[in-house]
């Protein structure tokens, strides 16, 4: 029953498939699916291309590497950009209603992460645009359709979705704590010479840095009162991490059960469900499974 949603995300529409010409069906199988050898090969090649492209984006930003290997980077980048463009066009061609793909999540990611290279030709400030190519990383999530990762992804997503209300309530509590303690800290340390607590937003930023136990140390309290308040905030942050963890774990346990139950065999005699994978006989009536 989750198919429709996945289809929207992936930009597919099974009903339209029958309208496709044979070469489109073949192409669809290679590009969108991962059940055939050709499909898997395509996915792995795409994975390699995406990784290479991201490494180039990263290395290009390192000044001394760009000075040395600039031409190489540009060559690789343009080769991959052209390949990604061809891939994008083929994806549109191999689908019944292209509009489904174009406005799907991955369709937009595909476009947005390819465009910047072209825009850089006309628009100045290409430097800025090229960074957007890092979004290509999102495309890697397509490989999750490979094999065993579908179930894992489903369980994690299911647990996150089910627990969203609790997570939001928790987030509000966190926000309230950092707002109030941040403001208090501004009161306490705000007027001290050389203190980092120069405004409430900065103090709230410090409170977030502290509560989440990141602790850069770029701003830190210097008065006894400030350090006491900071200690309370730290212990609070250390303890309340248990809340999202507790939420997530309890959801994960039930998500785990539910997904694994879908595979559960039922006894042909007494229809009892929930047999172990290695069971040969029903544990309730002793009938052969």
Residue ranges in 209-268 that form contacts with a copy of itself under rule CB under 8 A: 209-218, 220, 224, 227-228, 230-231, 234-235, 237-239, 241-254, 256
Residue 123 interacting with a copy of itself (CB under 8 A): no
Residue 199 interacting with a copy of itself (CB under 8 A): yes
For a copy of itself, the binding residues in 47-66 under the rule CB under 8 A are: 54, 57-63
Place of tokens 């209300």: 165
**Count of residues interacting with a copy of itself (CB under 8 A):** 103
Nearer residue to a copy of itself within complex by CB, 90 or 243 = 243
Residue 112 interacting with a copy of itself (CB under 8 A): no
Nearer residue to a copy of itself within complex by CB, 21 or 257 = 257
Residue from 31, 46, 95, 204 in contact with a copy of itself (CB under 8 A): 204
Residue 108 interacting with a copy of itself (CB under 8 A): no
Q: How far is the CB of 258 from a copy of itself (least distance, A)?
A: 9
Q: How far is the CB of 75 from a copy of itself (least distance, A)?
A: 19
Q: How far is the CB of 120 from a copy of itself (least distance, A)?
A: 14
Residue 141 interacting with a copy of itself (CB under 8 A): yes
Residue 140 interacting with a copy of itself (CB under 8 A): yes
Residue 38 interacting with a copy of itself (CB under 8 A): no
Q: How far is the CB of 130 from a copy of itself (least distance, A)?
A: 10
């Amino acid at each position: 029953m989750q198919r429709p949603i996945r289809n929207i995300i992936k930009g597919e529409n099974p009903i339209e498939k029958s309208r496709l010409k044979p070469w489109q069906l073949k192409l669809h199988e290679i590009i969108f699916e991962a059940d055939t050898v050709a499909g898997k090969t395509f996915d792995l090649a795409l994975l390699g291309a995406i990784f290479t492209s991201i490494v180039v984006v990263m290395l290009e930003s390192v000044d001394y590497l760009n000075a040395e290997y600039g031409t190489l980077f540009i060559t690789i980048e343009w080769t991959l950009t052209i390949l990604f463009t061809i891939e994008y066009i083929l994806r549109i061609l191999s689908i019944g209603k292209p509009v489904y793909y174009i406005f799907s999540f991955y369709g937009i990611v595909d476009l947005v992460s390819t465009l910047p290279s072209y825009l850089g030709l006309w628009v100045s400030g290409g430097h800025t645009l090229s960074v957007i190519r890092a979004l290509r990383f999102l495309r890697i999530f397509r490989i999750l359709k490979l094999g065993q990762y579908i179930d894992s992804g489903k369980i994690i997503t299911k647990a996150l979705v089910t627990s969203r209300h609790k997570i939001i309530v928790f987030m509000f509590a966190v926000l309230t704590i950092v707002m109030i303690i941040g403001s208090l800290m501004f009161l306490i340390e705000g007027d001290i010479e050389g203190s980092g607590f120069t405004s409430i937003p900065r103090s709230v930023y410090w409170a977030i840095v502290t509560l989440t136990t990141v602790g850069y140390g770029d701003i830190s309290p210097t008065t006894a009162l400030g350090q006491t308040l900071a200690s309370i905030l730290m212990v609070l942050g250390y303890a309340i991490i248990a809340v999202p963890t507790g939420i997530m774990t309890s959801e994960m346990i039930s998500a785990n059960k539910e997904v694994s139950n879908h595979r559960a065999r039922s006894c042909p005699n007494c229809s009892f469900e929930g047999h172990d994978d290695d069971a040969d006989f029903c544990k309730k009536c002793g009938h052969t499974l």
